[in-house]
Amino acid sequence: MTKLNETHDPALTSWVASANDGRTDFPIQNLPFAVFRRQGSQEPWRGGVAIGDQIVDMHAALGAAVFEGDALPAARAAAETTLNQLMGLGAVALSHLRRALSKALQTGSKNEAALKACLIPQSQAEYALPASIGDYTDFYTSIHHATNIGKQFRPDNPLLPNYKWVPIGYHGRSSSIGISGQSFKRPQGQIKPPDADTPQVKPSARVDIELEMGIFVGQGNALGESISIEQAESHIFGLVLFNDWSARDIQPWEYQPLGPFLAKNFASTVSPWIVTMEALAPFRASFAHPADDPQPLPYLSSAANSAAGGLDIQLEALIETPRMRNDKAEPARITLTNYRHAYWTAAQLVTHHTLNGCNLQPGDLLGTGTLSGPSLDQACALIELTSGGKNPVQLPNGESRTWLEDGDTVILRGWCEKPGTTRIGFGECVGTVLPST
Amino acid sequence: MTKLNETHDPALTSWVASANDGRTDFPIQNLPFAVFRRQGSQEPWRGGVAIGDQIVDMHAALGAAVFEGDALPAARAAAETTLNQLMGLGAVALSHLRRALSKALQTGSKNEAALKACLIPQSQAEYALPASIGDYTDFYTSIHHATNIGKQFRPDNPLLPNYKWVPIGYHGRSSSIGISGQSFKRPQGQIKPPDADTPQVKPSARVDIELEMGIFVGQGNALGESISIEQAESHIFGLVLFNDWSARDIQPWEYQPLGPFLAKNFASTVSPWIVTMEALAPFRASFAHPADDPQPLPYLSSAANSAAGGLDIQLEALIETPRMRNDKAEPARITLTNYRHAYWTAAQLVTHHTLNGCNLQPGDLLGTGTLSGPSLDQACALIELTSGGKNPVQLPNGESRTWLEDGDTVILRGWCEKPGTTRIGFGECVGTVLPST
């Protein structure tokens, strides 16, 4: 697990003033990566690093010879059109670049003049997927979500016997993963209400969100080789916010016996900025199964994973209805939870995924699954928040929502804060449901 | 659906003598595509076309200026290191190249001298995956397989109510798909026998095959757009043999509620030669659900799909044990079936997959699912052939197999033949199970 070092020092400030206001998601202690270009331009996509309200254009910075020595391989890779190469370099090379960025961006740096010319305001940028995602796997790491959903699909048997032993995961669709700002048509599908004799094809009336975190894989493993729990985090590049949109009326009819398919693969949205594991080092949380639950099998256990395998990341989802947009009202928060409630850690997901020798590759995306916390107001999908559609969510402007309506925008946010550290954040993951036709 | 034309004429012969022997998988009426190079060389991978026991090196043929006019765009794309670009050009461009290849390879062609210099014997070639596979989806199109498996997992409820309405599919893992010749370590996993209290991690003792066909997607669709049943086949590039290796003791413990995961994603093997939909045109079969079954919903129905949506492709699986290899004995056939037994056609899989707007991309792979026929000797997995491990398969040399043992090689073959046509085949899909450590 990454140790604290001088890049985490809360006393550090940047010559980019907006990084020092105590409210930004992107102080000098964060330094997340994205792929961007100027909005509406035909410029090549390239890697960038967020600092305050600015982006360090890594392609330009490379041209300005800001990086040297150990930091150079990662700096070169970070300037590419996707971050796959950077991800593949591994945690040590990435850490060298982080130290170099931290030095170059801190108050009084000799690189200030050269790097200032490489800044582009985030307000002028558009983003691409940060990596070419080879495979996307979604997990099911919140026992609260699994129990809440299980109650609706199997009232007599909500939590299956394997849940407390197996970090349950399944493969998802990578082609329909989009970057924040994605809008998608309401999907149509085969829908069979319980009281109907035959299914009908119609637009989903139950489009839902799933607030998750996305884990981008760094260095991969060869087919046939497993990744130990001790090594697992060194194979994680970083984390993003992730909305795994779901059609709850398509899902129950299609999902047996092989799992969700068209209920999920019409769109999934990631936030642009990948916060690295090293940036998250101050926000580790202890991890333990309840004492009367089965303890993880040896391949999923390590002292480090128990001591600090968790991550204290606050997460919220907000909804902006067309009426709110029209009234210029603030989006309304519908849930607030924390990643530390997960039943399996990120390291356990990597290790379990490779137990059979399955090969992970740089840029692969692992979803944590819906990160619902223990209480209902921490539930991370409408199917839970509304108790399966029975109790609509009341919004502050008098509207209510059972499921998403056309034109609704959902905004995910995430951040870490604790005394003695500098707050860091993930930016936003935004997506909008369009009418079916 | 592709019509018959002069390229299917059974009277056609090639100046490549081995294409005319009536036994080859690759007569001039076939002309499948692969990606290859000389065995053990460091040559660049490039596209090739099989003719008899030779390969037309498409990169060399392009240099020899054999192709012109309408055939040129596809010829250029077929010379690349993967066939994704060729697949993305669509069925019309591909058909132009087929006609040009047919003319250039037929007896008396003016291109004989130029093209002869571009031939490489298949015996000297090695193959790569023919495409960069973005997403891999596996279906479940044999009702016989679904029923046989269902009986073992849910004796009282073998075929779920959705089966006859929904072409059931789920996402698979693309990173572990390998080309024929692949060998893989016996996977380990969490295994919990029904009579045990807790799961254990150990090597799978129930490694199995699944004889499937793989469908390579040609032109894709934009996210949010569906592909109609009428258009579906024009989005299929061609078919390969596909072995979806499975660990039957990992599967039952992990697969609820989200589907198979580590039981499947340790390895899957495709045959190198992609037989195009146009080459398969003489071997179409009518398609109908039994009269007392639900008829496909309108989006899955068309006159053409009913008249000829099926494909008459004979399929067999053979096993070669280490003892057979040692004794130089012939591999033993363990099943013989036909793709026409499938409950859903290839076109229906494409249309269903995109019903919700999910975007397919050139080079995506769709597995048909295990293609078991109606009788037990047509079953395409050991779990069926052995009735769940109860009745070992007897091999002609006195050995038997319940599940695959270390060193076992499995060979899939497929071919089409009917009176008045020239037999065409798919070559072989070969894979070997290695010890766990």
Tokens 């700002």 -> residue: A181
User: Does the CB of B151 have a partner CB in chain A at under 8 Å?
Assistant: no
CATH topology of domain A6-128: SH3 type barrels. (2.30.30)
Residue ranges per structural domain of chain B: 6-128, 136-434
**Nearest residue in chain B measured CA to CA from A256:** B160
How many angstroms separate the CA atoms of A60 and A47, rounded? 10
How many angstroms separate the CA atoms of A44 and A84, rounded? 16
CB contacts of B254 in chain A (<8 Å) are 162, 166, 168
Question: Residue B98: pLDDT above 90?
Answer: yes
DSSP, collapsed to helix, strand or coil, labels residue B266 as coil
A355: closest CA of chain B, how far (Å): 6
Per residue in B238-290, pLDDT (tens digit) is 999 999 999 999 999 999 999 999 999 999 999 999 999 999 999 999 999 99
* Contact yes or no for A266 and B357 at CB 8 A: yes
User: Does the CB of B202 have a partner CB in chain A at under 8 Å?
Assistant: no
User: Does the CB of A150 have a partner CB in chain B at under 8 Å?
Assistant: yes
pLDDT at B361: 98
**Nearest residue in chain A measured CA to CA from B198:** A165
Per residue in A384-394, pLDDT (tens digit) is 999 999 999 99
B227: closest CA of chain A, how far (Å): 13
Per residue in A374-410, pLDDT (tens digit) is 999 999 999 999 999 999 999 999 999 999 999 999 9
How many angstroms separate the CA atoms of A346 and A84, rounded? 19
How many angstroms separate the CA atoms of A292 and B217, rounded? 50
How many angstroms separate the CA atoms of B62 and B71, rounded? 11
- The residue from B59, B145, B352, B353 that is catalytic is B145
pLDDT at B154: 80
Tell me how crowded residue B264 is: count the other CB atoms within 10 A of its CB: 27
* Contact yes or no for B265 and A171 at CB 8 A: yes
Tokens 């001591």 -> residue: A307
Cα–Cα distances in Å, from A247 out to A37, A207, A253, A265, B299? 33, 5, 11, 10, 19
Tokens 């009986």 -> residue: B151
Contact B255/B214 with Cβ under 8 angstroms?
no
For residue A412, count CB atoms less than 10 angstroms from its CB and return exposed for 0-12, middle for 13-18, buried for 19 or more: buried
Q: Using DSSP bridges, classify how beta strands B136-139 and B169-171 pair: parallel, antiparallel or unpaired.
A: antiparallel
DSSP, collapsed to helix, strand or coil, labels residue B282 as helix
Question: Residue A2: pLDDT above 80?
Answer: no
pLDDT at A153: 76
* Region class of B159: left (phi > 0), else alpha (psi between -120 and 50), else beta: beta
Predicted-complex ipTM score? 0.97
For residue B193, count CB atoms less than 10 angstroms from its CB and return exposed for 0-12, middle for 13-18, buried for 19 or more: exposed
User: What is the average pLDDT across B19-44?
Assistant: 97
Contact A179/A269 with Cβ under 8 angstroms?
yes
B213: closest CA of chain A, how far (Å): 18
Band (pLDDT 50/70/90 cuts) for residue B437 is confident
The residue among A353, A356, A370, A406 with the most chain B CBs within 10 A of its CB, best to mutate, is: A356
Per residue in A61-117, pLDDT (tens digit) is 999 989 999 999 999 999 999 999 999 999 999 999 999 999 999 999 999 999 999
* Contact yes or no for B190 and A355 at CB 8 A: yes
Band (pLDDT 50/70/90 cuts) for residue A221 is very high
pLDDT at A148: 93
User: Does the CB of A252 have a partner CB in chain B at under 8 Å?
Assistant: no
Is residue B145 among the annotated active site residues?
yes
CB contacts of A361 in chain B (<8 Å) are 175
**A413 Cβ contact partners less than 8 Å away, ≥ 6 residues apart:** A241, A315, A316, A318, A425, A426, A427, A428, A429
How many angstroms separate the CA atoms of A379 and B3, rounded? 55
* Contact yes or no for A174 and B135 at CB 8 A: yes
pLDDT at B153: 77
Q: From A23, A237, A12, A26, select the one nearest A119 (Cα to Cα).
A: A26
DSSP B73-123: HHHHHHTSSSSHHHHHH-HHHHHHHHHHHHHHHBTT-TTHHHHHTTEEEGG
Percent of chain A beyond pLDDT 90? 96
CB contacts of A176 in chain B (<8 Å) are 223, 358-359
Q: Are the folds of A6-128 and A136-434 the same?
A: no
Q: Which of B140, B259, B355 has its CB closest to that of A170?
A: B259
Q: From A293, A181, A302, A183, select the one nearest A233 (Cα to Cα).
A: A302
How many angstroms separate the CA atoms of B52 and B17, rounded? 7
Tokens 């530390």 -> residue: A340
Contact B314/B211 with Cβ under 8 angstroms?
no
* Contact yes or no for A265 and B185 at CB 8 A: no
What is the overall mean pLDDT for chain A? 97
Question: CA quadruple A145, A147, A148, A149: dihedral positive or negative?
Answer: positive
Band (pLDDT 50/70/90 cuts) for residue B377 is very high
Question: CA quadruple B97, B101, B102, B103: dihedral positive or negative?
Answer: positive
DSSP, collapsed to helix, strand or coil, labels residue A218 as coil
**B10 Cβ contact partners less than 8 Å away, ≥ 6 residues apart:** B29, B420, B421, B422
Superfamily of domain B136-434 in the CATH hierarchy? Fumarylacetoacetase-like, C-terminal domain (3.90.850.10)
Six-digit token string for A434: 């369009």
pLDDT at A155: 84
**Nearest residue in chain B measured CA to CA from A174:** B135
How many angstroms separate the CA atoms of A12 and A52, rounded? 13
Question: CA quadruple A37, A216, A425, A103: dihedral positive or negative?
Answer: negative
* Contact yes or no for A170 and B261 at CB 8 A: yes
